[in-house]
Structure 1
Amino acid sequence: MRQTTTALAILLSLTSLSAVAAQDNNYQHEAGLSYTTNSEEVSDGLWNANYRYYFESVEQSKAPYALNGFLAQESNIGANYQNFDPADSDSYGVDGTFVLGSNWFVGANYQKFDVASYDFNTYGAEVGYYFNDSSAVSAFYQDGDDNFTETYGLKVRSYIALQSTAGIDLNASWAHNEFDDVLNVGADWYINNAWSVGAGYTDSDNDDAFDVRTAYWLRITDGISANFQISKVLDSDYDGVGLGLGLVGRF
């Protein structure tokens, strides 16, 4: 609890820096630290640290900041580390996406989990196609050792730029395993490059739920930004409000 409170205080203090004259420069490196939790028990949250390198520079001045990586359609590699204290869980992994000249792309990922005295590995692959400058469709496969449940499915995502506001990000996915079929659909309306409001729907064999959310990306300096997320599942079985806070460095 004390470590979580101290770390959150550091994140919040950094976000109080002036955002005057921050320039939207191109970048190839992105490093982030984030904390996601629920208002019912703020100290029981998930920490995530990540880094990503893009083979070509990514523009961030003409589209929503949160979507710059997706819209760049550039090859990239990344690494991540996650910690969830309530479950005594740590995980770390690597992933990469390679974009071919024909607009096809292939991706792969590996993740190692340590949960209490138990550990296991997962791995996956994805093949997709960019059918225009802001849209993609792909098929994915995920598996692992120690009887990890095999999963496969489809994803589609499209960003539609608008004239009076930034645009709308649409996404849908279907995933199948031996126990369940899960359908996710969502839409996020970007009022400007920093602020979005959205909604989503999840349907599975066991349950279904709607959620609403909003997010804001705060430019602090040329290389540092903060982002904030608030979400709520519209179901009486889900208590509290989802909260997220992060810092992102781009250079």
Structure 2
Amino acid sequence: MVKLAFSKERVDHLINDWVNGNLHIQPTLSCFITRKEHDSKKLHLAILAGLSVLASPAIANNSYQHDATLTYADHSENDDGSGTFNVNYRYYFSEVNQNNKPYLLTGILSQTSNIGGYYSGVGEDYDVYSVNGEYVLESKWFIKAGYHNFETDNGFDSDNYSLTGGYYFNNTSSVYLEYINSSSGYDNSGTGVIEKSSTDSDTFTLGLQSYMPLEWTTGINFEARYSYQDYQIDSHFQVPDFSSKRSDGDTTSMIALAADLFITNSWSVGMSYAYDFDNSDNDNWDISTDYYLPITNSIAAVFAINTNLDSDIDGFGYSAGINGRF
């Protein structure tokens, strides 16, 4: 699973770019959207780094309904060690069986209704939280809905609403159509000064996920997504001796591909690629690895390392945490 983390200076730079109108933020679930979206998605993934959960095939419970993870994520370029803690919890309405399958994928492969939430930002200058759920019919058609919020201390706020419908066409695969409506912006206006901007977008994504067991190793998980986005940016800046208003919009499309090879049910290595059809220079490669260490019957330590292969991005992201399944 690809998970990126970036230095505090890099995050501050991205937010400043957005304030200056050089990018608009539209977090999506698993793919980059445009060159502007390219950096904002990295910011989103920096916050979301380390969510993967693993359990021990030797001593883990065979089934569970509660899945909770606390992780600490940071980046090697953060000289001050300013990482962040992330909390993730999910409840499954039916028991999830962990036998003979990658522990990282047990929730997905269970194909059962669930609800969960996420929070990040303890002690940081931002807060991120999300809630989402999935309802699976007996016919294996499913529907998902979610809400995601990202808010910073400098006045930036982003709200995302998602709705997904799909079908599990076999025991390890699904196809789906996803819609995300996003509204983001800030208003730092004061006496005699106007500084505000907003971005609204609609994103449609056609996706495919499939896990294939292999004879020579545990298996491989594929994901493919094609996204089309329509966005509108409105901004108004007015300070002494300067005034500017801007309103423009555009459409863009992108494809994202990912593969995770599971060496064992506990250890995986992954690679992902994203390509912007509207800007051939905007492509992106990422690699990652995930592992866990069993502690008790239902608790494991989880670890992840990831890096971006872009020559302009230095270092690597990493996370460590505790996962409980019961």
Alignment of 1:178-189 (within 5 A): 178=230, 179-189=251-261
Please give the alpha-carbon distance, in whole angstroms, between the structure 1 residues aligned to 2:307 and 2:215.
29
Please give the alpha-carbon distance, in whole angstroms, between the structure 1 residues aligned to 2:301 and 2:210.
25
Q: Secondary structure at the match of 2:176?
A: strand
Tell me which of the two structures has the higher relative contact order, counting C-alpha pairs closer than 8 angstroms and 6 or more residues apart: 2
Residue equivalent to 1:77: 115
Question: TM-score under structure 1 normalisation?
Answer: 0.85
Q: Secondary structure at the match of 1:201?
A: strand
How much does 1:127 deviate? 0.4
How much does 1:85 deviate? 6.0
Amino acid in the other structure paired with 2:204: Y
Please give the alpha-carbon distance, in whole angstroms, between the structure 2 residues aligned to 1:126 and 1:20.
32
Aligned pair partner of 1:33 in 58, 70, 95: 70
Please give the alpha-carbon distance, in whole angstroms, between the structure 2 residues aligned to 1:182 and 1:224.
39
Residue equivalent to 1:5: none
Please give the alpha-carbon distance, in whole angstroms, between the structure 1 residues aligned to 2:112 and 2:312.
41
Residue equivalent to 1:11: none
Alignment of 1:90-105 (within 5 A): 90-105=127-142
Residue equivalent to 2:288: 213
How much does 1:84 deviate? 7.4
**Does residue 82 of structure 2 align to residue 44 of structure 1?**
yes
Runs of at least 4 residues off by over 3 Å: 144-148
Overall identity of the aligned pairs, in %: 41
Note the aligned Cα RMSD (angstroms): 2.1
Amino acid in the other structure paired with 2:257: V
Residue equivalent to 2:164: 126
How much does 1:119 deviate? 3.2
Aligned pair partner of 2:61 in 20, 24, 44: 24
The count of aligned residue pairs is 232
The answer for unaligned runs of 5 or more in structure 2 is 1-55, 185-198, 231-250
Please give the alpha-carbon distance, in whole angstroms, between the structure 2 residues aligned to 1:85 and 1:241.
22
Q: Is the 8 A contact 1:58 1:68 kept in 2?
A: yes
Residue equivalent to 2:270: 198
Q: 1:50-107 deviations in whole A, cap 9, x for unaligned?
A: 1111010001121011000000000000111121766x21022211000011111000
Amino acid in the other structure paired with 1:131: F
Distance 1:97 1:169, change over 3 A: same
Amino acid in the other structure paired with 2:262: Y
Please give the alpha-carbon distance, in whole angstroms, between the structure 2 residues aligned to 1:29 and 1:39.
32
Please give the alpha-carbon distance, in whole angstroms, between the structure 2 residues aligned to 1:28 and 1:159.
22
Question: TM-score under structure 2 normalisation?
Answer: 0.66
Q: 1:100-132 deviations in whole A, cap 9, x for unaligned?
A: 111110000012332213434321100011010
Residue equivalent to 1:111: 148
The answer for unaligned runs of 5 or more in structure 1 is 1-18
Range that drifts further, 142-151 or 221-230: 142-151
Amino acid in the other structure paired with 1:38: H
How much does 1:21 deviate? 6.0
Q: Is the 8 A contact 1:78 1:96 kept in 2?
A: yes
**Does residue 189 of structure 2 align to residue 137 of structure 1?**
no
